[in-house]
Amino acid sequence: MRPSNLKTENKKLKEKELSVKSKTNNLSIIRDFIYNAAFEIGFSAEVIDNMILAVDEACTNIIKHAYKSYPEGEITVKLKYADKKFTIIIIDHGTPFKPETVPDPDLQTYYRQHRVGGLGMYLMKSLMDEVKYVSVPGKYNQVLLSKNLNSTL
């Protein structure tokens, strides 16, 4: 019986879920949620910081663009850890996102326009091993971020 018990416990430990409303004051709750899970898995402090930032950027984009700052939307963050790979799936039900329409960051454009756009996505791609968007129009949007435990940065 022992192996099956162990399996159940592991499953409990390695899958987690958090749902919050689409308000910017929930970003810190999401960051804490990622910190606790990543710390438990054993990621280095530096990698944890990077993952927290990537998830913050993804959720900030959802609040501002998918929900257009409407505060009653739902954001669900699902975590999985298997085969040394930490997977973070973030789901919303707002306007579908088209990653191909986001320009690469350009400092001169920011300077002229007094605003930044696309920085968050650039950070996510730079800081995570994998960034994948899936939208099912009228149903949900999903962004998947992953990081391998052996990744250095």
CB of 57 to other proteins, least distance (A): 6
Please identify, using beta-carbon distances, which residue of 16 and 65 lies nearer to other proteins: 65
Question: CA–CA separation, 68 vs 85, rounded Å?
Answer: 32
Q: Which is nearer to other proteins, 89 or 123 (CB)?
A: 123
- Number of CB atoms found within 10 A of residue 107's CB: 8
CB of 10 to other proteins, least distance (A): 31
Binding site for other proteins (CB under 8 A): 24-25, 27-29, 31, 46, 49, 52-53, 56-57, 60, 63-64, 105, 107, 110-112, 114-116, 119-120, 122-123, 126
- CB count within 10 Å of CB 121 equals 22
